[in-house]
Structure 1
Amino acid sequence: MKKSNLALAATVSSLLAIGTLVSSPAMAAGKEKCYGVAAAGQNDCATKSSSCAGTSKVDNQGDAFIAVPKGLCDKLSGGSLKPIEG
């Protein structure tokens, strides 16, 4: 991943982590799950390999998501609206 894309993903993750998203499993209106862009430890919910929010092991883990404003995920490098297998 390019440094600029990684920086953008890290910035988005950081901004979302400091209070702009709902910490419950229910998605807030105007938000969507964006897989593959969360920084390690910044995911919003459990994954196949981590038990709860904030426990993803690596940056850009394919099954870890963060809640982002609708339409933003498609603009993030590596972002997917579905879990990324592998």
Structure 2
Amino acid sequence: MQPTKTMIHNALAGLVALGLSSAAASALAAKGDTEKCAGIVKAGQNDCGTSKGACAGTIKTDRDAEAWITVPKGTCAKIAGGKVTDKPENQHGGAAAVKKTS
């Protein structure tokens, strides 16, 4: 095979693999086999909702104690500094959503 064709085949295979892994992650999330894990998020990578920000990507510091991401159940306890959270402000819309419902 020519090097160009090999590169194209590898790129296409990578895209297919990426699509399959995304579909698997979506299926896992749909089953409810996930949990919110706080204290492990890199700055700007939080999923959503803290008292400091009402939307995803708003946390300014790494490993903020309130910032959370969704991980597969049982994973959070295995990560240093990870803490499963279910605080009301840790929902989509953050503290602003809590105030609206109160």
TM range (shorter): 0.5 to 0.7
The answer as to 2:39 corresponding to 1:32 is no
* RMSD of aligned residue pairs (Cα, Å): 2.1
Which residue in 1 is equivalent to 2:79? 76
Gaps of 5+ in 1: 1-18, 22-26
In the alignment of these two chains, the number of paired residues is 61
What stretches of structure 1 move > 6 A for 4+ residues in a row? none
The answer as to 2:52 corresponding to 1:49 is yes
Contact 1:37 1:59 in 2 (8 A): yes
Gaps of 5+ in 2: 1-21, 88-102
Name the one with the larger helix percent.
2
Which residue in 1 is equivalent to 2:62? 59
1-structure distance, mates of 2:34, 2:59: 20
Aligned residue type for 1:43:
N
